[in-house]
Structure 1
Amino acid sequence: MASSSARVWRNTAAAILAIAAFFIVAPAFADKTASVLPRVERLAITAIPIDFDRDDPARKQFGKLVWRGGFNLFAKSPFFGGYSGLIVAPSGKSLLAISDAGTWLRANIDYDGRRLKGLSEATIGPILGHDGKPLAGVVEQDSEGLELLDGDISKGAAYVAFERNHRVLRYPFTPDRFGPPDGGLTLPAETKRMSANRGIEAVAPIRTGGLKGATVLFSERLPDKNGNLRGWLIGGQAPGAIALKNVGGFDITDAASLPDGGIVVLERRFRYSEGVKMRIRRIAAKDLKPGALISGEVLLEANDSLNIDNMEGIAVHRSASGETVLTLISDDNFSPLQRTLLMQFALPDAKPVLAEPQSR
């Protein structure tokens, strides 16, 4: 049972988050630096442990996921924050994140057994444009989605999705350089209907099964004629439009590929009257086909009575014990009232049970 002090903290935190959530829908008011990070820098990150349930820290089961720990992250840099896209190395021992301020963050992930312990050996650097210079200005910098294509966290290539100037580009990277881009995806004609601040948020290349070679894209909120959330299969053997069933008015903030050829989708809902919510849905590989209206399986849904913020990035890796581990990061919008949270959950079961797709 929660103590009175815990309840007071929860209610206070929820009120603060409700105020802070204003910045989720009005990011122009946030304190994002107008300057450009010119070069790669070392970064010391302070990681303050958090419990997902403030009232009951011993609780570990949330929906179909198991809590593996989390942190509130701090760093003394005006460029630290705004993280909207995330990838984690297959080993689970390092991460790469992108910020909507046109920067990237790389760090080692430290563990105490299976539980998150902190981040170390962090570096931060600029995302480069086609001209080889750091991206400048919000229209060019606003990166929202990230997914690994080749290599590992230290050296490889990744897709980066940008909004405002809507595009999905292929970025080669090394430990001290991210770009310039050397290609990208041709976006469907429907994406011309996307508003400036609701572009492509989710990029998930499929690496196995019948859809191998395809990339799943979702916009933040582009409704089809029935009000469901528009997405696309790009490339592969069966490209075409798909839709995620609109359940409860959530927006899509990210997606990541699963080892079995399916994906997980991260969603967010904000209302002034109720604060912030987040949801994670799992979509089976068999449901990803042109014309499908997909419901998926809810793995977790949480409101701000639990320890969430503006959750925008999700990544997947398989642990040494065989668990599918989901890592989430929040976008603080460079607001002092919001937080950069990093958290992990395990999905213990290996065989998903998912809703059947509905005909359209």
Structure 2
Amino acid sequence: MMRRIRLFLIVLLVAGLAPGLWWRMPLPPLRHDEGVTVTRLSGLPAKVGEMEVEGAWELESRNEHFGGFSALAMTDGSTLLAASDKARFMRIAVPPGRNIAAGELGYFRPGGAQDKRLSDLEALAHDPETGMIWGSYENLNTIERVSADGERKTARLPGTGGWPARSGAEAIERLPDGRFVVIAESRGGDAGSPALLFPGDPLGKGEPLAFRFKGPEGYSPTGAAALPDGRLLVIMRTWRFGVPPAFRCLIVLADPAQIASGEVWTGRVVARLQPPLPSDNYEGIAVRPRADGSFTVWVISDDNFMRHQRTLLLQLRWQERTHEKARGKPRASSKIQQG
């Protein structure tokens, strides 16, 4: 995911160009009992594009499980689940109208059984009806499904054989009708990023439809969250070399009803996450509907375990312009096929 940035910083260190401030954080003594400090940030802009800024927090901890959070999912109306590049998780309580609180930290795989090949967890998807969670791992193009009772199944994604090396399933989301959208990390140029639309559970028997997703020039998808009508909010990122690297992120609204085999899928920008909003490597996104028809949009940043980066959580409010329902429907054979 961000290995190019990490490699760049290492090169600077070897060349003697980077002061100690930019060094990768030294490995702390292993500790799993440390809590998470949550600090509310001030001086925020009122809006970013179409979205109101309701809050921003910096999360800090010396817990060995903390950091590198690149995936985010809303598992119920008041809890966020974040997952990291080390296949760890963090639960965040986000009750409506109240302050947030970061709680449980731990291994995404039970008992700390870490398969090194399944460590770079990039995205999460959640089924609110069954409680199932799907996680995607970078480079291996592998999906892991976890049932509510803890049963697990892991398999390589079909249709990813031609995806770029060191890419992978950077964004995965379950649509309300049971289909899944999976997008690779790639700036993609004019062609866009490789992507797949599955008729049901990607670990089931349905064959995916291949297409490409394209956002603004130079931006790469890092996460996605579904709205109740099936449309997606896709978070995208670009960065430029520097000490430290400079990140610019944005959120695109896209309608899966417009996906066609072999074609390029696009959307429109609804928010740009850049100064005066605190800037960092925003990767994870989740959505919670509100009673008034608007949405709370949560966004989390991946600190890459670097001193100069932070773990930030944003709370945005978005009132959509229209209530057009996504037109696409799953095929009759696509009702949550599980292997």
User: TM-score, length-normalised on structure 2?
Assistant: 0.79
State the partner residue of 1:12. Answer: none
State the partner residue of 1:323. Answer: 294
Q: Work out whether 1:46 is the aligned partner of 2:37.
A: yes
Alpha carbons 2:137, 2:169 under 8 Å: kept: yes
- String of CA shifts for 1:29-52, please: whole Å, max 9, x gaps: 744859998xxx66522111124x
State the partner residue of 2:322. Answer: 351
State the partner residue of 1:117. Answer: 99
Q: 1:255 to 1:287 in 2, by over 3 A?
A: same
Give, in angstroms, the shift of residue 323 of structure 1: 1.5
- String of CA shifts for 1:227-271, please: whole Å, max 9, x gaps: 312211012599411222242201111111111111111101001
Alpha-carbon distance in structure 1 between the residues aligned to 2:275 and 2:79: 28
State the partner residue of 1:13. Answer: none
State the partner residue of 2:139. Answer: 164
Secondary structure in structure 2 of the residue aligned to 1:286: helix
Q: 2:165 aligns with which of 186, 190, 195?
A: 195
State the partner residue of 1:216. Answer: 181
Alpha-carbon distance in structure 1 between the residues aligned to 2:247 and 2:143: 28
Alpha-carbon distance in structure 2 between the residues aligned to 1:151 and 1:25: 43
Give, in angstroms, the shift of residue 22 of structure 1: 4.7
Q: 1:35 to 1:168 in 2, by over 3 A?
A: farther
Q: 1:321 to 1:265 in 2, by over 3 A?
A: same
Figure out how many residues of one structure are paired with residues of the other and give that number.
304
State the partner residue of 1:75. Answer: 61
Q: Work out whether 1:89 is the aligned partner of 2:70.
A: no
Secondary structure in structure 1 of the residue aligned to 2:127: strand
Alpha-carbon distance in structure 2 between the residues aligned to 1:42 and 1:99: 18
**TM-align CA RMSD:** 3.1
Alpha carbons 1:227, 1:246 under 8 Å: kept: no
Alpha-carbon distance in structure 1 between the residues aligned to 2:7 and 2:215: 20
Give, in angstroms, the shift of residue 291 of structure 1: 3.1
Alpha carbons 2:191, 2:264 under 8 Å: kept: no
Alpha carbons 2:213, 2:266 under 8 Å: kept: yes
Q: 1:292 aligns with which of 252, 257, 263?
A: 263
Greater fraction of residues in strand: 1
Alpha-carbon distance in structure 2 between the residues aligned to 1:188 and 1:33: 38
Which sections of structure 2, spanning at least 5 residues, go unmatched? 12-22, 201-205, 326-339
User: TM-score, length-normalised on structure 1?
Assistant: 0.74
Alpha-carbon distance in structure 1 between the residues aligned to 2:112 and 2:34: 21
Percent sequence identity over aligned pairs: 24
Write the mapping of 1:211-360 to structure 2, written as runs, cut at 5 A: 212-221=177-186, 223=188, 226-236=190-200, 239-272=208-241, 275-349=246-320, 351=322
Secondary structure in structure 1 of the residue aligned to 2:81: strand
Alpha carbons 2:51, 2:271 under 8 Å: kept: yes
Letter in 1 for 2:185: E
Q: 1:193 to 1:291 in 2, by over 3 A?
A: closer
Q: 1:136 to 1:189 in 2, by over 3 A?
A: closer
Q: 1:222 to 1:299 in 2, by over 3 A?
A: closer
State the partner residue of 1:98. Answer: 83
